[in-house]
Amino acid sequence: MKFFADTSDIDAIKEINDLGMLDGVTTNPSLIAKNGGDFFEIITEICKICDGPVSGEVAATDYETMMKEGEKVAGLADNITVKVPLTEAGLKVCKNLAGNGTMVNVTLCFSPMQAVLAAKAGATFVSPFVGRLDDIGQNGMELISDIVRIYDNYGFDTEVLVASVRHTQHILESALIGADVVTCPPDVIKKLYKHPLTDKGLAAFVEDWKKTGQSIL
Ligand code: E4P
């Protein structure tokens, strides 16, 4: 299972990388707006920190402009993944960029059949948004199960990249289902190693070690 950091915050990305948990990075226009900075500089910097795929999203919605933007973004680094929306124009851009050997992440996926179209268009990744489905009273993880099952049925190579992750349960369920990638806000990734019994056990070890009066160094 691969962990991507869902952020454009350079310091947060470095921190996750230092933990050995950074297999890739996803960004989107909202994250760039939230964290500030120049889009091209940020994406280029992230690509230097992270060896894995780094998603940079196009901003246009029409085919011609999106295609030009996609080609420009693709030229930023070898590990760039161009992120396009799951629209008719986005699928067309996906097909063309993928045909030229560019990695493409098709985003804003909310149904199993949308995911099938992304796979047929040659997407490297499809991004189903689980949290946003949960937000409207639907079951985001059911979408992940359906896509994984359909992709397995037909042997599609497109990787299922679970997006809009809100909590660690989303990550656990993604792992149980067998999703290829989860992209998570850094604070959710860091919650994975926290457990009250780990903290309690460590506190006891520290106290007991003091009683021995010994030093390892
Ligand atoms: C990732 O690629 C998505 O853009 C992101 O996970 C969306 O998450 P949100 O629903 O929390 O905005």
Give the pLDDT score at 71. Answer: 98
DSSP 26: E
Residue 174: predicted pLDDT: 98
Domain boundaries, the chain: 2-212
Give the list of residues 6+ apart from residue 142 with CB closer than 8 angstroms, or none.
none
Q: Average pLDDT of 89-104?
A: 98
Query: For residue 163, which atom of ligand 1 is closest to its CA?
Result: 6
SS3 category, 81: strand
How many whole angstroms from 115 Cα to the centroid of ligand 1? 16
83 is an active site residue: yes
CATH topology of domain 2-212: TIM Barrel (3.20.20)
Report CA(133)–ligand 1 centroid distance (Å).
12
Cα–Cα distance, 112 to 26 (Å, whole number): 21
Largest CA distance in the chain: 72
Cα(first)–Cα(last) distance of the chain, in Å? Answer: 37
CA 57 to chain centre: 12
* pLDDT, average across residues 114-137: 98
pTM for the model stands at 0.96
Amino acid letter, 108 = L
Q: Are strands 24-26 and 2-6 parallel, antiparallel or unpaired?
A: parallel
Residue 22: alpha-carbon gap to chain centroid? 10
Task: Determine the pLDDT at residue 165.
Answer: 98
